[in-house]
Structure 1
Amino acid sequence: MGIEKQLLKAGNGPKPVPGQSVTVHCTGFGWDEGVLGMQIGEVARLQCSPDYAYGAKGFAAWGIQPNSVLVFEIEVLGAQ
């Protein structure tokens, strides 16, 4: 159990501590239905029902419990 991290780019700032709010930039893959129809610069919260997410199996490697609703806040930065 736990988290496995693959470092893609080193940071240079302090590390967050428990209790702090953290703002992140997240790149996801496969959110076609949610992102199609959004506009550049739009920010939206996408909520994926379990049948669209990982269902009854969940995804233990990421700590996603069975039948979990997943919520993502997405900002469309560009499109090519």
Structure 2
Amino acid sequence: MTIELPQATGSFGDKPQITFPAGGAPEGLHVQVLSQGDGAEVAAGDNIVVHYLGQSWDGGVFDNSYDRGATIDFPIGIGAVIGGWDQGLVGQNIGSRLLLSIPPELGYGSRGVPQAGIGPGATLVFVVDIVGVG
């Protein structure tokens, strides 16, 4: 069985648009490298710098850094962010653009974050540009 993941437009650094396939979200975490960077590998404990767009599988965009015009940074691989980011970004190369399909158990679970537009049990899809570590 082939897993159909969403498609993302744009190149590294450009605000992407995500198009979803017919049917529901796949089970589990899926990480697709859209463009491979040639920088160092991200390690657990690094302070990672990214641009990102986040969208619910069955809903709209709930957050993105492109419209703010500023990257964000945070420690990765140590539980400071959702599990899907910790598991999906560690081991990737700086300069990469990734698509992550994150199941609820590695996102915001059965409660979601309604005030942010993330429903209960939502599968999250992110396009993440790994800008650097610092």
Same fold (TM over 0.5): yes
Gaps of 5+ in 1: 1-21
The alpha-carbon deviation at position 28 of structure 1 amounts to 6.7
Structure 1 ranges of 4+ moved more than 3 A: none
Residue 45 of structure 2 corresponds to residue 23 of structure 1: no
Match of 2:111?
Answer: 57
Q: How does the TM-score come out when normalised to structure 1?
A: 0.62
More strand by share: 2
Cα separation, 1, equivalents of 2:101 and 2:132? 21
Cα separation, 1, equivalents of 2:73 and 2:121? 20
Gaps of 5+ in 2: 1-13, 17-50, 52-64, 66-71, 75-80
Tell me how many residue pairs correspond in the alignment.
59
Name the CA shift for 1:51/1:34 in 2 (closer, same or farther; >3 Å). Answer: same
SS at 2:132 equivalent = coil
Cα separation, 2, equivalents of 1:66 and 1:28? 26
Give RMSD over aligned pairs: 2.1
State the one-letter code of the partner of 1:34.
G
Question: Of the two, which has the highest radius of gyration?
Answer: 1
Residue 96 of structure 2 corresponds to residue 42 of structure 1: yes
Q: How does the TM-score come out when normalised to structure 2?
A: 0.39
